[in-house]
Chains A and B, each alone.
Chain A
Amino acid sequence: MHLGRYILRRLLVIPPMLVGITLLSFVLSHTVPSDPIAANLGDQAAANPVVVAAFRQRWGLDRPLPEQYGIYLWRLVHGDMGVSISTHQPVVMDLKQRLPATVELAIAALVISLVIGVPLGILSAVRRDSAIDQVARSVALVGVAMPVFWLGLVALLIFYARLGWAPSPGQLNPGSPRPPFITGFILVDALLWGRADVAKDALAHLVLPALVLASYSVGVITRMMRGSMLEVLGEDYVRTAHAKGLSRRIVTIRHAARNAALPVVTVVGLSFGALLSGAVITETVFAWTGLGSYAFSSATSLDFQAIMGVGTVVATVYVLVNLLVDVCYAALDPRIRFG
């Protein structure tokens, strides 16, 4: 199959998937037994039937559920996710402000884990059972078992409170000006704004949380790369390459590592979901105003529009990232397209 047709086929699956995601977000946020009226109005107002009726009408809670969903979907198509009951801002605006921080953190962590995990996995497979292999395997084991929120606190404790190497929690120093909103990623926006000092500040604030968050995915990627590399190193074509008299280095990198990296591409897509989840927790430790605090506050105040917005957007990001990963995989490995 041609790559274009493969992509087209994968793209066709996306719209029904997105409708399903909105439906599921809707069902999840509406089957909850709690009452948004009590959560948002307080006892006194909730006892007043006039206030309650007005509240229900204002937020459309008096309509039948299928109708509420229909209205939601119709608005969504027009880029409107409704208004948050608690922030009184359009949900789209809230998400536009919050999502980039979380995604920026997740991407930074992903880059770090690839930069560390791939070479570490290769090295540990090539020098199997050596000291470096033991270290790599321990990193992988400990990384997966590590509570990120705890690692974040310990990192702050050591590098901020004790050593003073890391800046205070937050995305920028209190004195730094916030760059104008272009992409929403503070680091990128500062660069586009042409302020190297702000970019440097943003980068300094990004390093520690990203390293902390990467602890999990470094383990996963190292483990995957090691396993895949060990498999490939036993293949005939690797032996042939050796027999041809190619240097060990060239065989390892050109013949083995490039082929072994393929399964890792899939893991990247899958661990992006874990990274998003982890980013939500990590940002609470490092005082980032990202999606985590928003999801938390909207869920506790039963702010349906906001919860649905978070669910829809996060799931969509995840689905799109995995689409991208599948396309990369198909581009790299013709067997997928023809299989």
Chain B
Amino acid sequence: MAVQAPTIPYAPRRTTRLLPRSFARSPLAIASLVVVAVWCAAALAASSLAPYGPLAQDIASRLAPPSPAHLLGTDPLGRDILSRILFGARLSIPVGVAAVVLALLLGTLIGGAAGALGGIVDEVLMRVTDLMLAFPTVILAMIISAALGAGIRNAVIAIMVAWWPSYARFVRGLVLSVREREYVEAARALGASPVRVFLRHVLLNTLSPLVILGTLDVGRAILTFASLSFLGLGPPPQIPEWGAMIAAGRDYLDEWWIATFPGLAILTLVLALNVVGDSLRDALDPRLRQQ
């Protein structure tokens, strides 16, 4: 009789779960995740969900209060506010993500270089970073995007320029601490080239805290973008954008719905993103909680 391979008496334990346990146990975190998912879905399906086009004008019912025809009312040009909010999500979410990713890339590049090269490079890069940090971010972003000219791309550039310094400092700190770990020393002892040690062993291990930090900041980026846009430094007026929609309501205090609903859109999305980010951080990397 042939010897059979022993069968495993129990099913292999599932080692990967979709969500960390502490995250899945928090009702607030789950609710926030749902809110974020709903906003993302709304952004993706805006063209089929929105009752009207984002630019469609119905002059006859301009400044109409919320009604069955226009659930959230209309703006001074007779455009449907609900539709514009849905299309606005299509802009705000990618812009928030793009601004954070770009700032993270630039910050990682500069902070990584400072941490890896050390010496005079480190000194110069970190002094520049310190200086950049002395400028309040919105004012810096405002100056940059006003000078570059209003527009979506320039607003993203402005946020990136204003934000990279804090990431650079964070990455440098991480690189300095990871560099001293035993496994990095082991890689070096095995004869790995400095570039390989840095990329494969140091930089890769700074990734997870960076991703968490980035998630936490997407909400803040959306908020900053809306602020710039509120000040008139965002996309041109016809494009549906939440901050600009609120700015349009400034002159119509009696028509409360114009500014109120886009603001609630920002608040719910940013709040949910922050809670998700916080919970993810607590679940994945409790060390960061001190920050």
Is the CB–CB distance between A307 and B231 below 8 Å? no
| A residues less than 8 Å from B259 (CB atoms) | 150, 153-154, 157
- Give chain A nearest CB distance to B89 CB in angstroms: 15
Q: Which residues of B contact A147 (CB under 8 A)?
A: 223, 226-227, 230, 243, 246, 263, 266-267, 270
B136 x A150 contact (CB < 8 A): no
State how many angstroms separate the Cβ of A69 from the closest Cβ of chain B: 15
Inter-chain contacts of A274 with B (CB < 8 A): 136-137
Determine the distance from Cα of A141 to Cα of B274 in the docked complex, in whole angstroms.
Answer: 8
| Shortest Cβ gap from A63 to chain B (Å) | 20
* Complex Cα gap A282–B132 (Å): 23
Chain B residue with Cβ nearest A144: B274
Bound: A62/B147 CA distance, A: 20
Please report which residues of chain A, range 209-266, place their CB below 8 angstroms from some CB of chain B when the two chains form the complex: none
The answer to whether B267 touches A285, judged by C-beta atoms less than 8 angstroms apart, is no
A318 engages B147 (CB within 8 Å): no
B150 to A, closest residue via Cβ: A300
A166 to B247, CA, bound (A): 21
Cα–Cα, bound, A284→B135 (Å): 20
Q: Which of A20-28, A175-183, A328-336 binds B? A: A20-28
Interface residues of chain B: helix, strand, loop or mixed (majority): helix
Q: How far is the CA of A156 from the CA of B144 in the complex (A)?
A: 30
Q: Is the interface of A mostly helix, strand, loop or mixed?
A: helix
| Closest CB in chain A relative to B279 CB, distance in Å | 11
Pick out which of these stretches binds chain B: A43-51, A88-96, A116-124, A309-317: A309-317
Residues of B within 8 A of A302 (CB): 147
Q: Is B280 part of the contact surface with A, judged by Cβ < 8 Å?
A: no
The interface-forming segment of A1-9, A29-37, A190-198 is A29-37
Assembled-state Cα–Cα distance A145/B139 (Å): 19
A295 touches B142 (CB 8 A): yes
Segment at the A interface, from B7-15, B38-46, B188-196, B248-256:
B248-256
Residue contact A314 to B142, C-beta cutoff 8 Å: no
Q: Given the complex of chains A and B, what is the CA–CA distance between A311 and B142 in angstroms?
A: 11
Contact B135 A311 (CB under 8 A): yes
Nearest Cβ on chain A to B169's Cβ, whole angstroms: 13
- Distance in angstroms from B128 CB to nearest chain A CB is 8
Whether the pair A145, B134 counts as a contact (CB closer than 8 A) is: no
Contacting pair B267 A150 (CB below 8 A) = yes
Other-chain contact of A315, B134, B227, B232, B267 (Cβ < 8 Å): B134
Kindly state the separation between the CA atoms of A21 and B249 in the bound complex, as whole angstroms.
37
Q: CB-nearest residue of chain B relative to A36?
A: B147
Say yes or no for B240: interface residue by CB 8 A criterion. no
Question: Is A319 an interface residue, CB under 8 A from the partner?
Answer: yes
Residues in B with CB closer than 8 Å to A273 are 136-137
Closest to A297 in B: B146
Q: Which residues of B contact A154 (CB under 8 A)?
A: 259-260, 263
- Is B181's beta carbon under 8 Å from chain A? no
Contact partner of B135 (CB less than 8 A), chosen from A34, A149, A318, is: A318
Q: When the two chains form their complex, are residues B136 and A276 in contact, meaning their CB atoms are under 8 A apart?
A: yes
Contact between A310 and B139, CB atoms less than 8 A apart = yes
Residue B19 interfacial (CB < 8 Å): no
- B109 beta carbon closer than 8 Å to chain A: no
Taken together as a complex, chains A and B put the C-alpha atoms of A290 and B137 apart, in Å, by 17
Pairwise interchain contact A145-B143, C-beta atoms closer than 8 A: no
Given known A32-B148, A154-B259, A299-B142, contact A314–B135 (CB-CB < 8 A): yes
Q: Which residue of A lies closest to B242 (CB)?
A: A147
Q: Which of A20, A276, A281 contacts B227 (CB 8 A)?
A: A281
- Hey, which chain B residues are within 8 Å of A161, CB to CB? 253-254
B136 touches A24 (CB 8 A): no
The reply to whether the CB of B178 lies closer than 8 angstroms to some CB of chain A is no
Chain B window 123-161, contacts with chain A (Cβ cutoff 8 Å), 1 for yes, 0 for no: 000011011101111111011101111000000000000
Tell me the nearest residue of chain A to B260, going by C-beta. Answer: A154
Q: A24-B131, A151-B263, A277-B137 are in contact. List 9 more A-B contacts (CB 8 A).
A: A17-B134, A29-B143, A29-B147, A142-B267, A145-B223, A153-B246, A273-B137, A281-B227, A285-B250
Query: A-B pairs with the 9 shortest C-beta distances?
Result: A299-B146, A150-B263, A277-B138, A145-B271, A32-B147, A145-B270, A273-B136, A277-B136, A161-B253
Chain B residues engaging chain A, CB cutoff 8 angstroms? 127-128, 130-132, 134-140, 142-144, 146-149, 219, 223, 226-227, 230-232, 243, 246-247, 249-250, 253-254, 256, 259-260, 262-263, 266-267, 270-271, 274-275
- In the assembled complex, 14 residue pairs joining A and B whose CB atoms fall closer than 8 Å, in A order, are A21-B134, A24-B132, A34-B147, A34-B148, A145-B223, A148-B227, A149-B227, A153-B259, A285-B250, A296-B146, A310-B143, A315-B134, A315-B135, A319-B134
A interface, CB within 8 angstroms of B: 17, 20-21, 23-24, 28-29, 32-34, 141-142, 144-151, 153-154, 156-157, 160-161, 273-274, 276-278, 280-281, 284-285, 292, 295-296, 299-300, 302, 307, 310-311, 314-315, 318-319
